[in-house]
Structure 1
Amino acid sequence: MIDVAVEAETVEPAPVLPNQPAWELVRLRHRALTPDAPGEASAGPVWTFVLEGVVELATVTERYVLDAGDAVLLDAFTPHRLSTAAGARVATADLRLVVPPFPVPSPLLVRDFAGRHYGVAELVRSCPLGGECRPSAFASSYGGLIGASMLASWQEDKPWDNRPGDPAVVTVLAALVAEPGAEWTVEWMAGLVHLSRSALNDRFRRALGRSPVQALREVRMLHARRLLADVDRPIEQIAHAVGYGSTAAFSRAFTADHGTAPKSWRTLSDAG
């Protein structure tokens, strides 16, 4: 794979509201794919927009052919690989939906993203500028524009998948976001909304497609990424601030979720 652009700088995400999707974007770059140099398997969430050519996306169970102008969003738990038979150019971003208030499919494929969201597509095409892409001019809305456009198309194509937020789940999520470093247990979460442990687990899985423990981990990782932006804050302090009893435990959890250790993530984010 040939990188033709440097990575975008980290931008501060908007405050997370449990019933309002929020997005994070750290890197955005253009890449060239060739038949003998396909894309490597990715760690972490990724958004891909086909600039030129035809690309094949392979997951564990499915294969999709993406034409120029198509876009696809995959979460951190969907192994995948990109390939091309005749060469292609793609824009990729580590776009992450923070604490999703409803289940979002992965992959989320939007055909003709370029035609349906012309302005957003042109922003992506014009980045990088002069060898660099620094979306700070768009503040935190840069990733939000892409994410909101993907969700809008999905909701247009499959309106029956849109589900109202479960008030009990929203209440628990709000508490987790407010105190990510607390010593949370599922019993404690359930007690906030007067439910049993099993009932809360069922409602989380119906509403979000994940368990309360998984949601707690996502909230803690969100807070950790924000704290890592402060280069003067020790990793050990961050580990305790987000509810981990040791730096080693925090590092293992962060690496499993992001494909890189906290220190490396901080270096990568600061390099923009």
Structure 2
Amino acid sequence: MTTSRVESLAAGATYDVTRGPHWVLVVEGAAVLHAGAAHPLLPGDAVLVSARQAFTLVACSDTELHVTDLAVGVPTHPLPSVLVVTDFATRHDGITALVRSCPTVAQCGPPLMSSSYANLVGAAMTESWLEDQGLPTRDDPASDAAVAAVVAAVTASPGEAWNVDRMAGLVHLSRSALGDRFRRELRLSPAEVLREARMQEARRLLQSGDAPVEQVAHAVGYGSSAAFSRAFTSQHGVPPQAWRTTAGRPGRSASATAARRLELARVGQRAS
């Protein structure tokens, strides 16, 4: 998480984001999130949108949102690209109080505190979603020590010359054995985990500084900016420089379409 802010929308206004990641908490009012499907959001609801997902949020009434660019680093469970948790504010009242008392990252203290803040929100969203799906929430998905060791190593140093052979050698396993353990524990391959660790660091570097894309590419383990750009575009839908330009800078339009207004009215009636 690198940005955090409060957004106020008038009734009918839209909040458009070309790409995630975003975490949105509805503090007051009601809205409809459009991201493939329509997701009505009432006061206290929260939604986590992945880095690859564009979305538009339309206010049903005067609405206050708390918005951050929270991203899941290396997921411990396979999560949907749009994860909605109803009544988040009541289910996690302590975290909600923290969010409301700390509306911007600058107010949250040093980077370590901001990271801890992000971890709290991410864990609460994941646990609530698992609970809503009827899935266990208290087990440790990375219970395999070999998987945990590899994940820790690649996330700590994503720019090193990692490949599956080196990852397997780190824990004295064959490629196939490591792959089996990763799929069993995380439902992801070692290569997918490595890619996400590198993309997480790339997003941080792109958004937090002005380093050239070529420098970011080498910092996250790619031999050329072309290879990095292909990988980044495949994951995010836009090239690195375009993502840097638009990330966290949503556009707005003054009103919704007639069809959306009808939907807003229906959701507004349910909210009242």
Say yes or no: TM over 0.5.
yes
The structure with the greater share of residues assigned to helix is 2
1:34, CA displacement in angstroms?
4.7
1:79, CA displacement in angstroms?
4.3
TM-score (norm 1): 0.69
Deviations 1:182-208 (A, max 9, x none): 3333344345552344x5445434433
From 216, 240, 250, give the equivalent of 2:218.
Answer: 240
- Number of corresponding residues: 240
Kindly indicate whether residue 6 of structure 2 is the aligned counterpart of residue 30 of structure 1: yes
Question: Equivalent residue for 1:99?
Answer: 74
Question: Equivalent residue for 1:22?
Answer: none
Kindly indicate whether residue 158 of structure 2 is the aligned counterpart of residue 186 of structure 1: no
- Aligned partners of 2:35, 2:243: CA distance in 1, in Å? 27
Question: Equivalent residue for 1:9?
Answer: none
Contact 1:239 / 1:246 at 8 angstroms: preserved in 2?
Answer: yes
Contact 1:72 / 1:108 at 8 angstroms: preserved in 2?
Answer: yes
What amino acid maps onto 2:14 in structure 1? P
Question: Equivalent residue for 2:28?
Answer: 52
Question: Equivalent residue for 2:107?
Answer: 135
1:96, CA displacement in angstroms?
1.2
- Aligned partners of 2:228, 2:147: CA distance in 1, in Å? 25
Unpaired stretches in structure 1, ≥5 consecutive residues: 1-24
- Aligned partners of 1:268, 1:196: CA distance in 2, in Å? 36
Contact 2:31 / 2:40 at 8 angstroms: preserved in 1?
Answer: yes
1:71, CA displacement in angstroms?
0.8
Kindly indicate whether residue 142 of structure 2 is the aligned counterpart of residue 175 of structure 1: no
- Aligned partners of 2:65, 2:204: CA distance in 1, in Å? 28
Question: Equivalent residue for 2:123?
Answer: 148
Contact 1:44 / 1:257 at 8 angstroms: preserved in 2?
Answer: no
Contact 2:74 / 2:197 at 8 angstroms: preserved in 1?
Answer: yes
- Aligned partners of 1:186, 1:99: CA distance in 2, in Å? 16
- Aligned partners of 1:113, 1:32: CA distance in 2, in Å? 19
Deviations 1:139-173 (A, max 9, x none): 22222232233234345544426553244432332
Structure 1's 210 and 126: CA in aligned 2 closer, same or farther, altered over 3 A? same
Instruction: Report the secondary structure of 2:56's partner residue.
Output: strand
Question: Equivalent residue for 1:83?
Answer: 58
Structure 1's 168 and 121: CA in aligned 2 closer, same or farther, altered over 3 A? same
Which structure exhibits the higher relative contact order, with contacts defined as CA atoms closer than 8 Å and separated by 6 or more residues?
2
Contact 1:228 / 1:266 at 8 angstroms: preserved in 2?
Answer: no
Larger deviation: 248-257 or 101-110? Answer: 248-257
- Aligned partners of 2:239, 2:121: CA distance in 1, in Å? 24
Structure 1's 160 and 105: CA in aligned 2 closer, same or farther, altered over 3 A? farther
Contact 2:2 / 2:208 at 8 angstroms: preserved in 1?
Answer: no
1:36, CA displacement in angstroms?
4.4
Kindly indicate whether residue 200 of structure 2 is the aligned counterpart of residue 222 of structure 1: yes
Question: Equivalent residue for 1:7?
Answer: none
- Aligned partners of 1:160, 1:148: CA distance in 2, in Å? 14
Unpaired stretches in structure 2, ≥5 consecutive residues: 249-272
Contact 2:22 / 2:49 at 8 angstroms: preserved in 1?
Answer: yes
Question: Equivalent residue for 1:118?
Answer: 93
From 30, 45, 48, give the equivalent of 1:70.
Answer: 45
Alpha-carbon RMSD: 3.6
What amino acid maps onto 1:186 in structure 2? V
1:58, CA displacement in angstroms?
3.2
- Aligned partners of 2:105, 2:140: CA distance in 1, in Å? 36
Deviations 1:5-63 (A, max 9, x none): xxxxxxxxxxxxxxxxxxxx111122234564322244121111011222222332x43
TM-score (norm 2): 0.69
Instruction: Report the secondary structure of 1:183's partner residue.
Output: coil
Deviations 1:94-124 (A, max 9, x none): 1012212333344332222212222322333
